């Protein structure tokens, strides 16, 4: 019980670093786990988190403007994705780039190349539907190891010059000691979005080191680290904004994506 309490406390501290949490893969048809999670996060008496679909938002910092489930039905290329991208349009009032779109990604390992390549079509769809070019793609790309070679990676359309991969190929994003793969990535589309990020700020958040956890306890939380990038803010003194991703943070629930302004909370 003490071990699980420690893991849950660490889990809550990870969530409290951010201000928007997109929750995927929650096997919880009655929403009991999510309601308990929200109660725990809100119990610190600070900024209220609001649950909208599978998204927790710090409403004084980030606004969810719109959302859309991508329809994977292009003629001749139906069912390109094992999990159709759930597209999120956010407004971050204190960021240099205020309007932005987040595309959470969790590819099927065996189809990583095809799914990552198809994300270019999703980006083009967003530009046409919402007229927004400030786009962040992030998540578990399975973009390393036997799932995607460096040669294959160069051939996918989201590796063209208008896309910028912020997590280097030699960065370990897994909590497991059995590999050092860079499965998790953050990719931004366009110069404006790239210039809205702090250079070299994209990195995994190594919660095992931060919370001095044993390997066993770290893996109880997740076998992936969140990856995060700092977004530039308009005024000096504002807390930096962060985007971050993690897979299987806790089961149940398992957290798949974060997009959030950074918060220093004492839980």
The lowest-confidence range among 28-37, 161-170, 225-234 is 28-37
Question: CATH topology for 2-261?
Answer: Deoxyribonuclease I; Chain A (3.60.10)
Q: Could you tell me if 180 and 174 are in contact, meaning their C-beta atoms sit under 8 angstroms apart?
A: yes
Band (pLDDT 50/70/90 cuts) for residue 76 is: low
Residue 164 in this model has a pLDDT that exceeds 90? yes
Tokens coding 117:
């390549």
Distances (CA, A) of 242 to 140, 228, 253: 17, 6, 22
The lowest-confidence range among 19-23, 121-125, 200-204 is 19-23
| Residue of 164 and 238 predicted with greater confidence | 164
Residue 158 in this model has a pLDDT that exceeds 70? yes
Q: What is the DSSP letter of 196?
A: T
Distance CA 242, CA 240 (A): 7
What's the mean pLDDT in 79-98?
87
Predicted local confidence at residue 257, as pLDDT: 36
Distance CA 129, CA 87 (A): 11
Whole-model pTM over 0.75: yes
Band (pLDDT 50/70/90 cuts) for residue 16 is: confident
pLDDT tens profile 142-152: 999 889 998 99
CA-nearest of 5, 3, 1 to 267 is 5
CA-nearest of 61, 51, 53, 54 to 19 is 61
Predicted local confidence at residue 53, as pLDDT: 36
């Amino acid at each position: 019980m003490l071990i699980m309490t420690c893991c849950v406390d660490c889990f809550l501290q990870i969530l409290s670093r951010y201000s928007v949490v997109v929750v995927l893969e929650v096997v919880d048809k009655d929403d009991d786990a999510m309601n308990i999670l929200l109660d725990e996060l809100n119990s610190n008496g600070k900024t209220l988190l609001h649950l909208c679909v599978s998204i927790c938002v710090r409403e004084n910092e980030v606004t969810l403007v719109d959302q859309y489930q991508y329809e994977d039905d292009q003629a001749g290329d139906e069912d390109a994705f094992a999990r159709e991208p759930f597209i999120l349009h956010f407004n971050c009032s204190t960021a240099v780039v205020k309007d932005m779109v987040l595309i959470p990604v969790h590819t099927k390992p065996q189809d990583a190349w095809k799914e990552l390549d198809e994300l270019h079509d999703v980006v083009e769809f967003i530009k046409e539907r919402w007229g927004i070019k400030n786009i962040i793609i992030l998540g578990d790309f399975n973009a390393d190891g036997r799932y995607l070679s460096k040669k294959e990676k160069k051939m996918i359309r989201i590796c063209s010059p208008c896309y910028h991969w912020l997590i280097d190929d030699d960065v370990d994003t897994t909590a497991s000691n059995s590999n050092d793969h860079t499965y998790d990535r953050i990719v931004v589309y366009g110069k404006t979005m790239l210039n809205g990020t702090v250079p070299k700020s994209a990195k995994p958040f190594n919660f095992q080191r931060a919370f001095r956890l044993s390997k066993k306890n770290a893996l109880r939380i997740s076998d992936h680290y969140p990856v995060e990038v700092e977004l530039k803010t308009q005024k000096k003194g504002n807390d930096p904004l962060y985007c971050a991703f993690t897979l299987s943070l806790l089961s149940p629930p398992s957290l798949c994506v974060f997009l959030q302004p950074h918060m220093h909370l004492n839980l």
